[in-house]
Amino acid sequence: MGIALTEAQRALTTADVPIGAVVLGPDGEVLGLGRNEREAHGDPTAHAEVVAIREAAAKLGEWRLADCTLVVTLEPCTMCAGAIVLARIPRVVFGAWDEKAGAAGSVFDVLRERRLNHWVEVFPGVREEECAALLKEFFGGHRH
Protein backbone atom coordinates (compact mmCIF):
# COMPACT_ATOMS: atom_id res chain seq x y z
CA MET A 1 0.00 0.00 0.00
CA GLY A 2 2.96 2.30 0.54
CA ILE A 3 3.73 2.23 -3.19
CA ALA A 4 0.09 3.02 -4.03
CA LEU A 5 0.09 5.92 -1.56
CA THR A 6 3.24 7.32 -3.18
CA GLU A 7 1.50 7.16 -6.57
CA ALA A 8 -1.55 8.89 -5.08
CA GLN A 9 0.68 11.75 -3.89
CA ARG A 10 2.14 12.03 -7.41
CA ALA A 11 -1.39 12.57 -8.81
CA LEU A 12 -1.50 15.88 -6.92
CA THR A 13 1.15 17.34 -9.26
CA THR A 14 -1.42 17.35 -12.09
CA ALA A 15 -4.40 18.36 -9.90
CA ASP A 16 -5.82 14.85 -10.22
CA VAL A 17 -7.71 13.16 -7.39
CA PRO A 18 -4.99 11.48 -5.25
CA ILE A 19 -5.62 7.80 -5.90
CA GLY A 20 -2.76 5.41 -6.55
CA ALA A 21 -2.51 1.77 -7.59
CA VAL A 22 0.07 -0.93 -8.14
CA VAL A 23 -0.13 -4.36 -9.77
CA LEU A 24 2.14 -6.91 -8.11
CA GLY A 25 3.21 -10.19 -9.65
CA PRO A 26 3.03 -13.50 -7.75
CA ASP A 27 6.55 -12.93 -6.40
CA GLY A 28 5.78 -9.36 -5.29
CA GLU A 29 7.45 -7.75 -8.30
CA VAL A 30 5.96 -4.39 -9.30
CA LEU A 31 4.46 -4.94 -12.77
CA GLY A 32 2.46 -1.73 -13.12
CA LEU A 33 2.06 1.60 -11.37
CA GLY A 34 -0.87 3.95 -11.75
CA ARG A 35 -2.29 7.15 -10.44
CA ASN A 36 -5.31 9.14 -11.50
CA GLU A 37 -4.41 10.99 -14.69
CA ARG A 38 -7.82 12.20 -15.90
CA GLU A 39 -6.87 15.86 -15.62
CA ALA A 40 -3.34 15.27 -16.90
CA HIS A 41 -4.54 13.58 -20.11
CA GLY A 42 -8.17 14.67 -20.43
CA ASP A 43 -9.07 10.97 -20.37
CA PRO A 44 -12.09 9.89 -18.33
CA THR A 45 -10.78 6.29 -18.23
CA ALA A 46 -7.38 7.25 -16.78
CA HIS A 47 -8.15 5.97 -13.29
CA ALA A 48 -5.24 4.68 -11.21
CA GLU A 49 -6.31 1.05 -11.52
CA VAL A 50 -6.72 1.17 -15.31
CA VAL A 51 -3.33 2.87 -15.74
CA ALA A 52 -1.64 0.23 -13.55
CA ILE A 53 -3.42 -2.66 -15.31
CA ARG A 54 -2.41 -1.34 -18.74
CA GLU A 55 1.22 -1.02 -17.65
CA ALA A 56 1.28 -4.51 -16.12
CA ALA A 57 -0.29 -6.09 -19.22
CA ALA A 58 2.22 -4.31 -21.46
CA LYS A 59 5.13 -5.45 -19.29
CA LEU A 60 3.92 -9.07 -19.30
CA GLY A 61 2.83 -9.00 -22.95
CA GLU A 62 -0.38 -10.64 -21.75
CA TRP A 63 -3.81 -9.25 -20.88
CA ARG A 64 -4.56 -11.98 -18.36
CA LEU A 65 -3.08 -10.89 -15.05
CA ALA A 66 -3.69 -14.21 -13.31
CA ASP A 67 -1.76 -14.63 -10.05
CA CYS A 68 -1.36 -10.84 -9.72
CA THR A 69 -2.60 -8.58 -6.95
CA LEU A 70 -3.92 -5.05 -7.44
CA VAL A 71 -3.40 -2.67 -4.52
CA VAL A 72 -5.27 0.64 -4.65
CA THR A 73 -5.83 3.46 -2.18
CA LEU A 74 -9.60 3.73 -2.81
CA GLU A 75 -12.27 1.10 -3.40
CA PRO A 76 -12.54 0.61 -7.18
CA CYS A 77 -15.45 2.16 -9.09
CA THR A 78 -17.60 0.12 -11.49
CA MET A 79 -15.35 0.85 -14.49
CA CYS A 80 -12.23 -0.21 -12.63
CA ALA A 81 -13.93 -3.23 -11.09
CA GLY A 82 -14.96 -4.27 -14.61
CA ALA A 83 -11.37 -3.89 -15.82
CA ILE A 84 -10.14 -5.97 -12.87
CA VAL A 85 -12.59 -8.76 -13.72
CA LEU A 86 -11.69 -8.62 -17.42
CA ALA A 87 -7.97 -8.76 -16.59
CA ARG A 88 -8.63 -11.87 -14.46
CA ILE A 89 -6.90 -10.35 -11.42
CA PRO A 90 -7.59 -12.72 -8.51
CA ARG A 91 -6.90 -10.36 -5.57
CA VAL A 92 -7.60 -6.71 -4.79
CA VAL A 93 -6.37 -4.89 -1.71
CA PHE A 94 -7.79 -1.41 -1.10
CA GLY A 95 -7.53 1.31 1.50
CA ALA A 96 -10.53 3.61 1.86
CA TRP A 97 -14.13 2.72 1.12
CA ASP A 98 -15.96 4.79 -1.51
CA GLU A 99 -19.49 5.13 -0.16
CA LYS A 100 -20.63 7.06 -3.26
CA ALA A 101 -19.24 5.01 -6.15
CA GLY A 102 -17.50 1.90 -4.79
CA ALA A 103 -17.94 -1.39 -6.61
CA ALA A 104 -16.15 -3.77 -4.24
CA GLY A 105 -18.79 -4.02 -1.55
CA SER A 106 -20.09 -0.57 -0.65
CA VAL A 107 -22.48 0.59 -3.40
CA PHE A 108 -22.01 -2.38 -5.76
CA ASP A 109 -20.03 -5.61 -5.52
CA VAL A 110 -18.86 -6.20 -9.09
CA LEU A 111 -15.70 -7.97 -7.94
CA ARG A 112 -17.69 -10.77 -6.28
CA GLU A 113 -20.68 -10.84 -8.63
CA ARG A 114 -21.46 -14.53 -9.10
CA ARG A 115 -23.10 -13.98 -12.50
CA LEU A 116 -19.74 -12.92 -13.98
CA ASN A 117 -17.11 -15.34 -15.25
CA HIS A 118 -14.38 -14.30 -12.78
CA TRP A 119 -14.48 -13.53 -9.06
CA VAL A 120 -11.99 -11.56 -7.04
CA GLU A 121 -10.85 -11.95 -3.46
CA VAL A 122 -11.13 -8.55 -1.75
CA PHE A 123 -9.07 -7.27 1.18
CA PRO A 124 -10.53 -3.88 2.25
CA GLY A 125 -9.42 -1.28 4.76
CA VAL A 126 -5.63 -1.61 4.47
CA ARG A 127 -4.16 1.64 5.84
CA GLU A 128 -7.69 2.98 5.48
CA GLU A 129 -7.25 6.11 7.60
CA GLU A 130 -4.14 7.18 5.71
CA CYS A 131 -5.80 6.65 2.33
CA ALA A 132 -8.99 8.45 3.40
CA ALA A 133 -7.08 11.39 4.90
CA LEU A 134 -5.34 12.08 1.59
CA LEU A 135 -8.71 12.28 -0.20
CA LYS A 136 -10.38 14.35 2.54
CA GLU A 137 -7.53 16.86 2.43
CA PHE A 138 -7.73 17.09 -1.37
CA PHE A 139 -11.50 17.59 -1.50
CA GLY A 140 -11.48 19.89 1.53
CA GLY A 141 -9.25 22.25 -0.43
CA HIS A 142 -11.57 22.18 -3.46
CA ARG A 143 -14.85 22.98 -1.73
CA HIS A 144 -15.72 26.60 -1.14
For the annotated binding site for Zn(2+), the residues are: 47, 77, 80
DSSP state of 13: G
- Do 106 and 98 touch, CB atoms closer than 8 A? yes
Alpha-carbon separation of residue 94 from 12, 106, 121 (angstroms): 19, 12, 11
Output the furthest CA–CA distance in the chain (Å, rounded). Answer: 46
Q: How many CB atoms lie within 10 A of CB 129?
A: 11
Q: Active-site residue 49, yes or no? A: yes
Q: Mark the binding-site residues, compressed into ranges.
A: 47, 77, 80
Residue of 49, 55, 75, 128 marked active site: 49
- Taking alpha carbons only, the member of 72, 80, 77, 68 closest to residue 18 is 72
Active site residues per annotation: 49
